[in-house]
Structure 1
Amino acid sequence: MDTNSTAFEASARSNSLADKPIRLAVIIGSNREGRYAPVIADWFLSRAESFGGLDIDVVDVAEIDLPTTFSSQPSDTVQAEQAKVAERLAAADAFVVITPEYNHSYPAGLKNLIDWHNAEWHAKPVGFVSYGGLSGGLRAVEHLRQIFAELHAVTVRDTVSFHGPWGQFDEDGQHTSPEECDTAAKSLLDRLTWWAHALRDARSVRPFSA
């Protein structure tokens, strides 16, 4: 094997990816009636769009119809829905999960979305934006870290968490004291995109095998 040629090809692949936007899937993890998730999601999406270099796809569990009962022979409708969502997740280079905290953990609809997929999460970074009461949703995030570790994903240390967000946003969805949370969002996106570039380059050279 010509090691110089192999190294050159790997470098060329890496350089060809460097200028491509990071494909970011933003997962809205709540499907409850009256949910506050759209306010948090709109706030984060505006920051992600301003950050630049991202091709963003919003995956909302409230718009996905996957059953909670798993079958070895799912119906054609279920297979079609799963395939459609799987294609979007597989196309992503990175994920940001927006989650509330329900009973010290994350929502059932979010777990269902995660469990219907596997390889789509492999060797990709995951960031978190959480909200809730005094904990700011951080207990939900800690549980999600364990789940994504099992799925060979890399979770980012930096998070954004809103403690009691219901009084923090005005009627137009704008945060009334944005400096701290804007800084947190930038830190999250800085770390997430670093990992997204690094892991995308790595997968192009050596496909991940679980």
Structure 2
Amino acid sequence: MHDPKPAATRAEVCDVANAVFDGTDAVMLSAETASGQYPDKAVEAMHRVCLEAEAHFRVRGPAQWRSETDFQHIDEAIAMATMYAANHLKVKAIASLTVSGSTPLHMSRPSSGIPIFALTPHEKTCTRVSLFRGVTPLTFPMETTDHFALNRAVIDEFLRLGLVTSDDDLVILTKGDLEGVRGGTNAMKIVRVGDVRSR
């Protein structure tokens, strides 16, 4: 058994960097790294490697997104259609109204660089989606089932947070027709901020 050292080995650095390049949502310590003498330094080193690797991460193009297999669920198809449209329309942000977080999970796979926001009233879902690459959780009450009122509430929240700033900004919203159904996302809507605000 080798002596524990406060510096990461080349193999350890490569493992963490490759995890980022592979699109992994999160990395963690294990075995002797987690229980050794330098867990704080290990986390700091892992953080630095992740930041550096993400700075050089190449975004996969739409042609590489699951082109070889069929979708198993409707929410997965909606998620991939959303990412494809977002990349071709220069969408400012994506709002995924979600119960379980499965739709933003599918959206996080292509690693497009477009900000994805998971809007949910559930604290557990907020915690879960915080581990997904490129997905930011937002606590959102979903107090209405009226489609336009919901769109307006989302846009108002995005404006309040400074996520959109211009009437010309485009936002994609995904949601399900049935409130509270896990994996029930079955709709994608592309909205222009000014069009929603003017009604």
Judge same fold: TM > 0.5, yes or no: no
State which structure, 1 or 2, has the greater radius of gyration over its C-alpha atoms.
2
Which structure dedicates a bigger proportion of its chain to helix?
Answer: 1
Q: TM-score, normalised by structure 1?
A: 0.30
Name which structure has the greater RCO, CA cutoff 8 Å, separation 6+.
1
TM-score (norm. length: structure 2): 0.31
